[in-house]
Structure 1
């Protein structure tokens, strides 16, 4: 306050201070928004806005600004309107037509918050907004409410993966004394059950959650920006809000390859709804989506081939991880073609001919009698938003650029989820959506920290990670050491006669703190949360090695991997420390 008074005393004689009653503020975020935007106006020297009293005090240079222009400037911010007593400020006859139109248009089409999208980030934003008492409009086009995860992503894929695992274990046994005899697979029933699960969870976890919200309006349609505060839906009705959260997600990136559109292809959106079991599948791409689909459908009796233009599947991970996975996939009959690049598709009767460049520089033709599945990464859903009108900053790959507070380069526009340049997971999207709304309407800012972020690829064995791997540690100049424990040293894996994979820990040699972990193991994803928490809270490897772990659990492998930094674990007895 001392600095504020000092600044006032230093002002020239050509200044004026006015107090304005402002209608439309609902929280401290509103007052902050007005202050932030009005301070950009040339001539504004000091602004102080209080949402509780509804008053704003403004000091301005009268040589650059007059009272009417000040009022116009406030009226142009979001849904706020300057009033005189109980009447709106007319500001003589000099108010622009646009301001007058805006004031007369207030009502049902004005909100505190507009959320564009209908997935996890959008619903999380809406839930947070409801808790703050904000009027919210959610506009969703494309996939049904619930977005990718529940409709065409996590839920259906993991359901099919589990069904496929059940089928696999009826034909494969780790025990010589058990002779599996197989199973009758009713593919159509599996898909029917999957659809029922999706519908139930979409209703229970999304629609039912917001069904009693008093301040939420949900609208189906395509939203396009008119300006920073206004959208138009399906080219018809316009809506305005103080702040906007973009949470439109991402869809499969379709490569520009000759003939691909003509021969037809599937993505996760359409593949999961096929009720007739495909004859075979050629999957384009060996990222986590392609790999999960490949293992699931192969185990359900579909012949699967993977074409990958890099040297190996899941190229983002180190070779020791992908080596284990490739060995397993090949043992199950999945054909993997690394360093193959498709350059042309064409139909020959009912068959699809895939023309490919081979690793040795030659070309070949691959015949696919079933379906082509495109799993070549994702692209953010921004093309229909009209972002050029508002000059929103995008990354080279088209993602909306946000900082750790989910702020974009435009003060009242935030973004969350797969449409942004952040890790593309449903649980990060949920955190980001809530964070965006908090930061848009609160003076207490929150940041999202991904340093210990856990993730899982649901192949078999599962691949999981948290923190950095050894390559990242080296690139960042961090002194590190790696401990890698094969599952052949874990009693649980030996008892189950399934020793596929390993546990790898990365520690900072100066602090002994765990900075990263990678696991590839049957149900290995169940281990990663503990390791993520260890990274987040600065747990040392010594702490991990000296903690209690139930004997004959896979989690005991973490203890053994920690011990391996200093001892040869093969020379330890059971339960040793």
Structure 2
């Protein structure tokens, strides 16, 4: 058995693992990275990049279908060659993965340990049956994986996850998507627009990450006008029948329906990959899901020399968050015992549906919890249905809700569905991180005609409701929910 003694051991070779390794390496040469599977990132292999390639193909079809609204009539029937679609998706996906692997190849071979690590104690890792590593500091960056109810395993190869979609050579005729979250909405809508019969089922009424009922209801209605979507479905039977899956459910009117589909796509969430690390052999404090509890500013766990980053941390499973956490965890592991807080940016998330869904800063749910006793925040709203630029482009669907604090006039957050929401969200995230007030935001330039004029309307609506002044600010600061 080989034994290594190192300053820092990083468990995982994805976005967070690679980032933590590089950050720690700047502070100490004695760093190893342990990876049991293929190197590369979820984003490049099966996540954000291949999904956007599929979405781009679906948008191309949708643009042609919308053309008659402008008086432009393409000749003949639209022909979708799904083999060509998937060939491009996989070709470009492999290209993105290649860029990641080029970076991995530049890492010295003796710093890369192949195998799956588990804890022997707070400082010792066993990698498969070949290497024992004694590390002064450890970074857990093991990522996450899709999860679904165990009973669904009876569906065999008719049960798929997003990873499987990007290995298809051709597109199927029909798919039932379970879970209208980010992955489910993006893939479900894209498959529908590429000619696949899609039915989407959810539980509890959730749509994407939205917490504002007004925006969530609008999103459910808008998406439901394009393909079947029941965010609170009642599925009575789901079982395999040959090469199909039989599903009996109650439709939106409460009537029983039966369908046969080629695949069931499980988009029912992800779980952190920490269950096979033998964390019970450590002194780590863990949450109800078994995930080590960490300070979000330092990524330090209850065991001072152990840090965690990325999806494994169960904080916010987004690539830019994983990168930030990796940098913080790697810096602190490399420089330990000196531990310093890292920059945590304002929260921003985007669902690349059409219209897009986005959230910035504090959510509606968080604000209603925080200010439950005094109602010290208010809401500005705009509809994109009659917004000038949106109507010009025939993309006039959407709603934006912005939140501001009474007394200070500070911008707190936003939830939205609308055209180019990804760009609106970035503007709002920058304003939120700079802790701007609504008045300061309205002092910024707005060109004409642009979609951002809709944002200005929402901010003006919010401005008219805010009570600015010391007395109001004092009342809100004394709110028990703060």
Residue of structure 1 equivalent to 2:160: 266
Of 280, 287, 290, the residue aligned with 1:388 is 280
Tell me what 1:220 maps to: 114
Other-structure match for 1:281: 175
Distance in 2, Cα, partners of 1:358 & 1:228: 52
Residue 239 of structure 1: aligned partner: 133
**CA distance in 2 between partners of 1:463 and 1:160 (Å):** 18
Q: For 1:409, which of 289, 297, 302 is the aligned residue?
A: 302
Equivalent position of 1:131 in the other structure = 26
**2:448 is the counterpart of 1:551:** yes
Deviation at 1:400, TM superposition (A): 2.7
Residues 238 and 246 of structure 2 are in contact (CA less than 8 Å); yes or no, is this contact kept in structure 1?
A: yes
The 3-state SS of whatever aligns with 2:66 is: coil
Match of 2:396 in 1: 499
Alignment pair present for 1:561 and 2:458? yes
* Superposed displacement of residue 503, structure 1: 2.4
**CA deviation after TM superposition for structure 1 residue 260, in Å:** 3.4
Match of 2:312 among 396, 419, 434: 419
**Aligned equivalent of 1:66:** none
Residues of 2 paired with 1:213 and 1:244: CA distance? 18
Please give the per-residue CA displacement for 1:219-268, whole angstroms capped at 9, x wherever unaligned: 33211112222212222221222111111111111212266344740001
5+ residue gaps, structure 2: 466-482
* Inter-partner Cα distance in structure 2 for 1:444 and 1:456: 32
* Separation in structure 2 between the aligned mates of residue 259 and residue 229 of structure 1, nearest angstrom: 37
**Conserved? CA contact 1:138–1:216, under 8 Å:** no
How far apart are 1:340 and its partner, in Å? 2.4
Residue 84 of structure 2 corresponds to residue 183 of structure 1: no
- Please give the alpha-carbon distance, in whole angstroms, between the structure 2 residues aligned to 1:309 and 1:566: 36
* 1:23-80 CA-partner distances (Å, limit 9, x unpaired): xxxxxxxxxxxxxxxxxxxxxxxxxxxxxxxxxxxxxxxxxxxxxxxxxxxxxxxxxx
Structure 2: distance between partners of 1:382 and 1:312: 26
What do residues 454-513 of structure 1 show as CA deviations (whole Å, max 9, x unaligned)? 110111000111112333222101611111011245332132232111222111111011
**2:201 matches 1:304:** no
Unaligned runs of 5+ in 1: 1-100, 569-577
Does the CA-based 8 Å contact 1:508-1:514 persist in structure 2? yes
* Pairwise CA distance, 1:116: 0.8
**Aligned equivalents of 1:328 and 1:339: distance in 2?**
16
Structure 1 contact 174–497 (Cα < 8 Å) conserved? no
Residue 203 (1) aligns with residue 95 (2): no
- Native 8 Å contact 1:480 1:509 kept in 2: yes
SS in 2 for 1:309: coil
Give per-residue Cα distances to partners, 1:411-431, cap 9 Å, x unaligned: 221111111131111110111
8 Å CA contact retained: 1:460, 1:522: yes
Distance in 1 between residues matched to 2:276 and 2:321, nearest whole Å: 24
Residue 331 (structure 1) aligns with: 225
Q: Residues 468 and 132 from structure 1, CA distance in 2 versus in 1: closer, same or farther, beyond 3 angstroms?
A: same
User: TM-score, normalised to structure 2's length?
Assistant: 0.88
Displacement after TM superposition at 1:566 (Å): 4.7
1:5-44 counterparts in 2 under 5 A?
none
Q: 2:10 aligns with which of 92, 115, 118?
A: 115
Deviations for 1:171-213, whole angstroms, at most 9, x for unmatched residues?
Answer: 2237341224553222122222222222222221x23234444
Distance in 2 of aligned mates of 1:234 and 1:264:
32
- How do residues 471-510 of structure 1 correspond to structure 2 at under 5 angstroms? 471-477=365-371, 479-510=376-407
Q: Deviations over 1:118-142 (max 9, x none)?
A: 1111111112122224322111123
Contact 2:123 2:134 in 1 (8 A): yes
- Paired residues of 1:110 and 1:240 also in contact (CA < 8 A): yes
Give the Cα–Cα distance (whole angstroms) in 1 for the partners of residues 406 and 68 of structure 2: 39
Q: Following the alignment from structure 1 to structure 2, what is the Cα–Cα distance between the partners of residues 520 and 174?
A: 24
Matched residue of 1:170: which SS?
helix
Distance 2:417 2:110 in 1: 43
Q: Which has the higher contact order (CA 8 A, sep 6+)?
A: 2
After superposition, give the CA deviation of every residue in 1:133-152 in whole Å (9 maximum; x if it has no partner): 4322111123x212211111
SS in 1 for 2:17: helix
Give the total of aligned pairs. 458
- In the alignment, is the contact (CA less than 8 A) between 1:149 and 1:426 conserved in 2? yes
**Structure 2 vs 1, CA of residues 389 and 341 (structure 1 numbering), >3 Å: closer, same or farther?**
farther
Change (3 A) 1:363 1:565: closer
Residue 207 (structure 2) aligns with = 313
Instruction: Work out whether residues 181 and 207 of structure 2, in 8 Å CA contact, stay in contact via their aligned partners in 1.
Output: yes
Task: Report the TM-score when normalising by structure 1.
Answer: 0.74
